[in-house]
Structure 1
Amino acid sequence: MEKEKRTHKAHCIVLPFPSQGHINPMFQFSKRLVHNGAKVTLVATRFISKSLLGDAGPIAVETISDGYDDGGFAQAGSSGTYLERFRVVGSETLGSLIEKLKSSGCPVDCVVYDAFLPWALDVAKKLGLVGAVFFTQSCTVNDIYYHVHQGMLKVPLSEPEVVVPGLFPLQACDLPSLVYHYGSYPDFCDMLVNQFSNIEKVDWVFCNTFYKLEEKVVEYWMGKICPLRTIGPTLPSAYLDKRLGDDKDYGLNMLKPVTGACMEWLDGKPNGSVVYASYGSFAVLEPEQMEEVAWGLRRSNAYFLMVVRESEQAKLPQNFKEETVEKGLVVSWCQQLEVLAHRAIGCFLTHGGWNSTLEALSLGVPMVVSPLFTDQPTNAKFVEDVWGIGLRARADDKGIVRREVLEHCIGEVMGGDRLKGIRSNAMKWKNLAREAVDEGGSSDKCIDEFVAKLVAW
């Protein structure tokens, strides 16, 4: 079909890594592309597609195979086996999907792929399409992995302080855990480092951040590595610029949220009185750590809303829910953005995943970050020491964040001496996040430019 006969400006396939934390930002980016006149087909694995709940709206959803259609990652038995099989079978079935769409009269112009899946760029280039990589982690973290890939940051680390081009000096323990504890998860480390294996072939580089949040490292990338575009924060429009109508939720969820009970409970609490505690959709806490988190919340004497997935609830202390019913509510899942935006929330106790960090920052919610692995220690460093919007709860020699530490950090963020400065900084970053996606903002301009270039191409 000729471009001038289309009802859309361009057709983009968007391929996220098959997990909730990667689907959310890339699905939200897809909405922005549609708003700018593009057609988008979101591609999920066949296994993940069976568990997606919600409405994709104007975005088409198609599937490819990761080689494990009946069980996904769990069926593979190991991360290395899964990733290699996904590369082989995913490449083949993605190519077949693109050919199918072409023969059905809806040819694809561009593949926007998760940086975790660099083989998708090879498929796009083989078929003569534009390739755009989407980094779902911070530009800072990607900078660290890039320099490991280039051999400019040697691992295992040998010094307590590390200097990475584009960044100020960091303590080794502030680097992503896969770098600091090199060898802990070798398959995942290889995946993250190999995000850059073919980046010289890519046409566009997107990062889910905004310019003023990571200005120094973004400038470094623009001048030394490649023309990076910041297109974040990728939150539903209702929480930022409000230009996409009734866009209040990401739209596709792998877990069913408990919504009514959460909001009714929050409605009955004073402004800024509740600690919201969630360690995300993927993290698995050790039983000892779960117990420490639970007791830390109880000892804080604040109201708390605690998210513990069904598969994790057996790790809670015996009778914890019943004994804390006057102060706390424990749910299996919730609409995190709706909760964070509620007037009753005064603090977010989080693992510090990038999505959660951006959400809290964009909504002006102070944080207590208790990082577990991957990019979370680096995010925690920036939350506390660079952006000044919260505190890092540090682990002991066993790697456990103790209840006393959590109690202290929550007390400081909810009402301690640092509260005024933290809240002031939180409001500053909230306003800057909104400016980035407002019409004419830095992130908004990048998306406009991308769609316009696709039309010209």
Structure 2
Amino acid sequence: MFPSHESSCDEEVSDGLISYAPFSDGKDDGSWPKDSEERAQRRRANFLGLSAIINRLAASGRPVTCMVCTLSMLAVGEVAREHRLPFAVYWIQPTTVLATYYHYFHGHDKLIAVQHGINPTYEVTLPGLHPLKICDMPTFFTEKTQNDLSKMILQALRELFEQMDQEKPTVLVNTFDALEDVALKAIQPYMDVVAVGPSVPPLGALQHKNNASEAQIHLFKHDEKNCMEWLDTQLEKSVIYLSFGSLLAYTKRQAEEILHGLQCYGQPYLWVVRKEGRAEAVDLCLREVKAGKGMIVEWCDQQKVLSHPSIGCFVTHCGWNSTLEAIVSGVPMLTVPSWSDQPMNAYLIEKEWKVGIRAERDAEGILTREELANCLELLMGGSEKATQIRANAHNLKERAHETVATDGPLETNLQNFIKSMQNKFIGISNLIQ
């Protein structure tokens, strides 16, 4: 993010509203820690770097009054404790997943592990939640052979929940009441949870966002002009939009299966294939693209695409950001989950909210052409189920827009959170004095 700063944290970058202060974790090449020892070293480096920023801001007359971290930054809580600052966690997955992790780390781990080995479809009833199949839970619970990354992530999450047990921070969740009222009520007895989602701009802001000064930063290079102009030529709700997020690359066989499934169904498509997995898929689909039946892009402004009237459905990996963007846009989803929270997100989309259906992978983990074509027909066709899914998606979109409206629940929750952090800071300051 700050290649010119190297390891320095003496300078800040501002976009006019938010200021960014870079710091080093001891190894700035973007790699994951190789083992627990390296993870501990980076955590210590994070602690020292953040502490230096806190001290520098205080010395300049701008004392920090609250610290907020995501689920992967344990050092923030440690720094907050050291400096006696109010501390909050920003949970970037559904509340249902938050509650599931909480109960997994508070006595349900053995039950889940045992039953998964016997029957992955076994339903577990966690306090306050609807019954959940073990196979729909986060994959870190259910992997038969955990790799080093999965072990590291699960251990980091365990440490985060231990930290939250000790510090009792406010937990901000990227969700809203109309979406997860059951889960929000279920977790309230165990932690102070505040719904601060959906953290995506409303459609009106997107559709009128032509000011160059409001340009967004994207993970990968994209050609927005050609993409949107092509969508403008398509019929309403006719285009299949496919994207499996910023991490997954396509194997040759998976690219072939998707291509043939799209050909079989016959509707126009917009397919995001990142550079890492692009060569094989582009070679396969070049003739289709030239014929005008589809378009392949390395990246796009996803929410702007989802809000386009030509989009009929979203074939998605079920990352939480993608899920919320589809909900805000009212687009039905064909879910193809892979790992982490994605299976549970797919469950919520299909079973609780009924705004999509789930595609099943074969024994090798491949979405086959037959499954893709059949699911697209079920989701985009004229059946009673497809009509109901579209109606549900529209209704949920309306509820999301009500949430983000001026003086709506999102704004109220954020204002109340800020006031509570201010009061905590004043209280701590008075105790210190």
**Normalised by the size of structure 2, how large is the TM-score?**
0.87
1:294 maps to what in 2?
Answer: 259
Contact kept in structure 2, 1:140 and 1:217, CA below 8 Å: yes
SS in 2 for 1:142: helix
Q: Once the 2 structures are TM-superposed, how far is the Cα of residue 254 of structure 1 from its aligned partner?
A: 2.6
2:430 maps to what in 1?
Answer: none
1:156 to 113, 126, 135: 113
Q: Once the 2 structures are TM-superposed, how far is the Cα of residue 364 of structure 1 from its aligned partner?
A: 0.3
Deviation readout 1:372-409 (Å, 9 max, x if unpaired): 11111111111111111111111122222211111111
1:315-394 alignment to 2 at 5 Å?
315-316=280-281, 318-325=283-290, 326-394=292-360
SS in 1 for 2:89: strand
Moved more, 123-132 or 319-328: 319-328
Q: 1:80 to 1:278 in 2, by over 3 A?
A: farther
SS in 1 for 2:309: coil
Runs of 5+ unmatched residues, structure 1: 1-17, 19-42
Cα distance in structure 2, aligned partners of 1:336 and 1:48: 33
Contact kept in structure 1, 2:249 and 2:276, CA below 8 Å: no
Q: Does 1:100 align with 2:37?
A: no
Q: Once the 2 structures are TM-superposed, how far is the Cα of residue 243 of structure 1 from its aligned partner?
A: 12
Q: 1:167 to 1:239 in 2, by over 3 A?
A: farther
SS in 2 for 1:400: coil
1:407 maps to what in 2?
Answer: 373
Contact kept in structure 1, 2:289 and 2:296, CA below 8 Å: no
SS in 2 for 1:214: helix
Cα distance in structure 2, aligned partners of 1:174 and 1:45: 43
Contact kept in structure 1, 2:113 and 2:142, CA below 8 Å: yes
Q: Once the 2 structures are TM-superposed, how far is the Cα of residue 323 of structure 1 from its aligned partner?
A: 3.4
2:400 maps to what in 1?
Answer: 433
Q: Does 1:280 align with 2:238?
A: no
Q: Compare CA radii of gyration and give the structure with the larger one.
A: 2
Report how many residues are paired. Answer: 408
Q: Once the 2 structures are TM-superposed, how far is the Cα of residue 183 of structure 1 from its aligned partner?
A: 4.5
Deviation readout 1:153-209 (Å, 9 max, x if unpaired): 325242422222221112221111111225522112222333312113143210000
1:173 to 127, 132, 135: 135
Runs of 4+ in structure 1 displaced over 4 angstroms?
A: 43-49, 79-82, 237-250
Q: Once the 2 structures are TM-superposed, how far is the Cα of residue 237 of structure 1 from its aligned partner?
A: 4.3
Q: Does 1:221 align with 2:179?
A: no
Cα distance in structure 2, aligned partners of 1:370 and 1:253: 23
Cα distance in structure 1, aligned partners of 2:279 and 2:209: 40
2:410 to 425, 430, 443: 443
Task: Give the letter aligned to residue 322 of structure 1.
Answer: R
Q: 1:193 to 1:257 in 2, by over 3 A?
A: farther
Contact kept in structure 1, 2:203 and 2:307, CA below 8 Å: no
1:203 to 154, 166, 169: 169
Q: Once the 2 structures are TM-superposed, how far is the Cα of residue 240 of structure 1 from its aligned partner?
A: 7.0
Cα distance in structure 1, aligned partners of 2:271 and 2:407: 38
Contact kept in structure 1, 2:168 and 2:191, CA below 8 Å: no
Task: Give the letter aligned to residue 191 of structure 2.
Answer: C
Cα distance in structure 2, aligned partners of 1:327 and 1:89: 51
Q: Once the 2 structures are TM-superposed, how far is the Cα of residue 48 of structure 1 from its aligned partner?
A: 12
Cα distance in structure 1, aligned partners of 2:285 and 2:175: 38
Which structure shows the bigger proportion of residues in strand conformation? 1
SS in 1 for 2:98: helix
2:30 maps to what in 1?
Answer: 72
Deviation readout 1:290-331 (Å, 9 max, x if unpaired): 332232222221100000111111232744223343211001
Cα distance in structure 2, aligned partners of 1:402 and 1:220: 37
Cα distance in structure 1, aligned partners of 2:209 and 2:174: 18
Deviation readout 1:66-109 (Å, 9 max, x if unpaired): 2212x1116x5x37566434312111101111111111222111
SS in 2 for 1:234: coil
1:258 maps to what in 2?
Answer: 223
Q: 1:454 to 1:146 in 2, by over 3 A?
A: closer
Cα distance in structure 2, aligned partners of 1:238 and 1:355: 15
SS in 1 for 2:171: strand
Q: Once the 2 structures are TM-superposed, how far is the Cα of residue 412 of structure 1 from its aligned partner?
A: 1.5
2:158 to 186, 193, 218: 193
| Superposed CA RMSD | 2.9
Task: Give the letter aligned to residue 350 of structure 2.
Answer: E
Deviation readout 1:203-261 (Å, 9 max, x if unpaired): 32100000121111100111x20121000000024557999997997933332222111
SS in 2 for 1:269: coil
Contact kept in structure 2, 1:354 and 1:379, CA below 8 Å: yes
Contact kept in structure 1, 2:65 and 2:422, CA below 8 Å: no
Q: Once the 2 structures are TM-superposed, how far is the Cα of residue 369 of structure 1 from its aligned partner?
A: 0.6
Q: 1:171 to 1:455 in 2, by over 3 A?
A: closer
Q: 1:253 to 1:86 in 2, by over 3 A?
A: farther
Task: Give the letter aligned to residue 226 of structure 2.
Answer: A
SS in 2 for 1:109: coil
Contact kept in structure 2, 1:208 and 1:234, CA below 8 Å: yes
Q: Percent identity of the aligned residues?
A: 33
Q: Once the 2 structures are TM-superposed, how far is the Cα of residue 44 of structure 1 from its aligned partner?
A: 11
Runs of 5+ unmatched residues, structure 2: 427-433
